[in-house]
């Protein structure tokens, strides 16, 4: 799991220390603190009903369709106007299919992009299809791989268009305000095995936690669809939306 996170962060030029780790799935919360600690991620967010997050996302997700046109042309011989013409053809197709699905034209947005590379490379980077696409490519290449060569010839491999149709979203729930003391949310204790020894950890019922409640690790937070483990040195705080936000206590 740590390797998978590095692939989408460090290997793409992003510093994990600048991000928050979102943990979901029935068992995601059991590993969240350990993963965040090994990657120096300072904060973990665990949404309510974490084990159902994927299903909830499918219900509220926008309708998205992706279109692509292979080009394989050097940027020297390709004008931005020519790229816009290709995008227009893809856009016409996308808008037509979205309308056929009954989506209101006012809710539809589009986003054009280019797959680009230096001539001779076998891999591409995706940049927005905008007037300054060439400079954006060099900047992204430098960020991703540590270098860029503006004097080197570049080429456009594919023109892409993402068409998104917005759907109505249900309002986000909020939880009742409380204090730092989780109080009645503590429903018992469990023995957990840590660092070659058994320790006793309090167990908190997720549905009973209020906004501003704080839980200090080692502790377990249980709910119908998931379990969260707060490791020693970590603290969890509930925000007004019911998210459980975990942070390291003291200096990192």
- What single string gives the DSSP state of each residue in 165-218? E--PPPPPP---B--S--GGGEEEEEEEEETTEEEEEEEEEGGG--BT-EEESS
Residues 6 or more apart whose CB falls under 8 angstroms from that of 129 comprise 83, 84, 87, 112, 113, 114, 159, 160
Distance, in Å, from the CA atom of 130 to the CA atom of 232, rounded to the nearest integer, reads 48
250 compared with 80, residue with greater pLDDT:
80
Strands 154-165 and 108-118 turn out to be antiparallel
Rounded-to-integer distance, Cα 244 and Cα 45, Å: 6
Per-residue CA distances from 47 to 34, 53, 200 (Å): 18, 8, 26
The structural domains of the chain, ordered by start, are 2-57+174-248 (no CATH), 62-165 (3.30.1490)
As a whole number of angstroms, the distance between CA 181 and CA 235 comes to: 12
* pLDDT-derived band at 251, boundaries 50, 70, 90: low
Question: Rounded distance, CA 134 to CA 148, Å?
Answer: 12
Q: What is the pLDDT of residues 99-147, one digit of tens each?
A: 998 888 889 999 999 999 999 999 999 999 999 999 999 999 998 888 9
List pLDDT tens digits, range 191-233. 999 888 999 999 999 999 999 999 998 999 999 999 999 999 9
Sign of CA dihedral 6, 7, 10, 11: positive
Q: Give the Cα separation of 216 and 134 in Å (integer).
A: 50
What average pLDDT does the chain have? 93
């Amino acid at each position: 799991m740590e390797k998978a996170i590095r692939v989408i962060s460090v290997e793409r030029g992003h510093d994990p220390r600048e991000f928050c780790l979102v943990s979901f799935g029935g068992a995601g919360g059991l590993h969240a603190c350990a993963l965040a600690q090994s990657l120096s991620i300072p904060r973990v967010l665990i949404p309510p009903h974490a084990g159902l997050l994927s299903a909830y996302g499918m219900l509220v997700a926008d309708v998205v369709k992706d279109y692509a046109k292979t080009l394989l042309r050097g940027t020297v011989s390709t004008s931005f106007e020519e790229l816009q013409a290709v995008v227009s053809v893809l856009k016409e197709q996308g808008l037509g299919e979205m309308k056929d699905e009954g989506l209101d034209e006012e809710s539809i947005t589009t986003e054009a992009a280019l797959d680009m590379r230096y001539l001779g490379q076998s891999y591409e980077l995706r940049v927005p299809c905008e007037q300054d696409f060439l400079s954006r490519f060099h900047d992204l290449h430098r960020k991703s791989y540590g270098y860029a060569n503006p004097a080197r010839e570049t080429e456009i491999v594919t023109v892409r268009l993402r068409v998104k149709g917005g759907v109505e979203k249900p309002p986000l729930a909020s939880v009742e305000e409380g204090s730092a003391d989780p109080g009645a949310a503590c429903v018992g204790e469990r023995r957990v095995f840590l660092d070659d020894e058994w320790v006793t950890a309090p167990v908190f019922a997720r549905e009973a936690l209020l906004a501003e409640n704080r839980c200090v690790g080692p502790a377990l937070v249980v709910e119908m669809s998931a379990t969260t483990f707060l490791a020693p040195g970590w603290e969890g705080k509930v925000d007004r939306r019911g998210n459980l936000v975990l942070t390291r206590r003291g200096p990192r």
